[in-house]
């Protein structure tokens, strides 16, 4: 199943994508794809409607993030062996955790705004995990599969000067407005043959900058969810960004940074693609 939210910011309605041209409106069954929806059973609640419901044609509506603003956005750093190598950092023994403000979440085609004072804004194509039920203290990574509602494409936009040169926490370089485009849809796990072997890519201004695969993850999605559950309670609808493959701007020589007018295009096999225009600070 492919869950989408379409409509103006703050007024999105939940739908299920049937194909490139059609969807089934499920807004009478749930007001949104939010914590309450996932806690009540999530996509399983929609199966009968999707099978029998009338199809409607997409008519150029804005596509929002596939989930409502989550309780938290958790992020894993240096989670691809080839990305760790390009940054010159050691492969971590345990997942590196940082957080991103939930209000960074925007749609997959919305503009990305460079924050004031930024000088090193960067891109990161990532696999996003959405949690499907309240989860804590899982006994094993195998148990994590039942806690995952689905997966989506995420662009973990970063301001490296804030992240690396201002001291303190990485979150300062991760939490500017618009810094977490997600979607275009949330894909339920049954739609993917193997989430640990998905091709990933990102272009800037038509030039391929990132090419990778989830098979080079150091910690796969199940290990990540199990690990995080030992330290915190994961809530339904929470989003986890799981790290990026090589090719980020910081990893190039010379380094490349985003500027107003640039266009990012990115995608993951089976999860769709995104496109964002970079705009000036407000």
pLDDT in tens, 131-181: 999 999 999 999 999 999 999 999 999 999 998 888 777 889 999 999 999
Q: Please tell me the predicted confidence (pLDDT) of residue 83.
A: 73
Q: Which residues pair with 56 in a beta bridge?
A: 23
**Distance (Å, rounded) from C-alpha 185 to C-alpha 206?**
23
Confidence of residue 255 (pLDDT cuts 50, 70, 90): very high
Residue written as token pair 């009540």: 40
For residues 3 and 46, give the distance between their C-alpha atoms in angstroms, rounded to a whole number: 10
Whether 185 has a pLDDT exceeding 90, the answer reads: yes
Q: Are 228 and 235 in contact (CB under 8 A)?
A: no
Instruction: Report how far Cα 53 is from the mean position of its chain's Cα atoms.
Output: 29
**pLDDT per residue over 65-88, tens digit each?**
999 999 999 999 889 987 777 777
- Please check the confidence at residue 89 and state whether its pLDDT lies above 80: no
What would the pLDDT profile of 95-129 be if each residue is shown by its tens digit?
999 999 999 999 999 999 999 999 999 999 999 99
Question: E strands along 132-252, which residues?
Answer: 148-155, 158-159, 180-181, 186-187, 199-204, 207-213, 239-241
From the centroid of its chain, how far is CA 106?
10
Distance CA 218, CA 235 (A): 24
What confidence score (pLDDT) does residue 167 get? Answer: 78
pLDDT of the residue at 24: 98
Average pLDDT of span 256-265: 98
Q: Which of 234, 148, 226 is nearest to 190 (CA)?
A: 148
Question: Rounded mean pLDDT of 54-74?
Answer: 97
Decide: 76 and 96 in contact? Cβ < 8 Å.
yes
Predicted confidence at residue 82, as pLDDT, reads 78
Dist CA 1 CA 67 (whole Å): 14
Give the Cα separation of 242 and 49 in Å (integer): 32
Distance CA 70, CA 55 (A): 28
> pTM (2 decimals)?
0.96
Token pair, residue 275, equals 């496109």
Residue 4 sits at φ, ψ, to 5 deg, of -135, 160
Interval 252-281 mean pLDDT: 97
- Range 223-232 average pLDDT: 98
Nearest alpha carbon to residue 176 among 125, 109, 121: 121
Mean pLDDT across the chain: 95
42 — pLDDT class (breaks 50, 70, 90)? very high
Tell me the per-residue pLDDT of 8-24, one tens digit each, with 9 for 90 and over: 999 999 999 999 999 99
Q: How many whole angstroms separate alpha carbon 33 and alpha carbon 39?
A: 10
DSSP 8-state assignment for residue 9: T
Q: Is 18 strand, coil or helix?
A: coil
């Amino acid at each position: 199943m492919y869950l989408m939210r379409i409509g103006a910011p703050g007024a999105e309605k939940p739908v299920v994508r049937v194909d490139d041209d059609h969807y089934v409106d499920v807004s009478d069954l749930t007001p949104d794809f939010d914590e309450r929806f996932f806690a009540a059973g999530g996509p399983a609640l929609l199966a009968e409607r999707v099978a029998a419901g009338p199809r409607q044609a997409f008519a150029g509506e804005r596509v929002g993030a596939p989930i409502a603003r989550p309780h938290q956005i958790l992020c894993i750093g240096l989670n691809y062996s080839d990305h760790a190598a390009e940054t010159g950092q050691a492969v971590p023994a345990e997942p590196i955790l940082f957080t991103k403000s939930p209000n960074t979440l925007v749609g997959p085609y919305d503009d990305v705004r460079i924050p004031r004072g930024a000088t090193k804004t960067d891109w990161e194509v990532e696999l996003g995990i959405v949690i499907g039920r309240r989860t804590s203290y899982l006994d094993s990574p195998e148990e994590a599969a039942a806690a995952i509602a689905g997966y989506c494409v995420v662009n973990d936009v970063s301001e490296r000067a804030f992240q690396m040169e201002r001291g303190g926490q990485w979150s300062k370089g991760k939490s500017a407005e618009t810094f977490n485009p997600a979607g275009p849809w949330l894909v339920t796990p049954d739609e993917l043959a193997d989430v640990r072997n998905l091709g990933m890519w990102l272009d800037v201004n038509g030039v391929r900058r990132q090419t990778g695969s989830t098979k080079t993850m150091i910690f796969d999605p199940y290990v990540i969810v199990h690990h995080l559950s030992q330290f915190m309670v994961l809530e339904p609808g929470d989003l986890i960004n799981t790290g990026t493959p090589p090719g980020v701007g910081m990893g190039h020589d010379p380094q490349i940074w985003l500027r107003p007018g640039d266009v990012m295009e990115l995608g993951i096999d089976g999860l769709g693609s995104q496109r964002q225009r970079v705009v000036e600070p407000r």
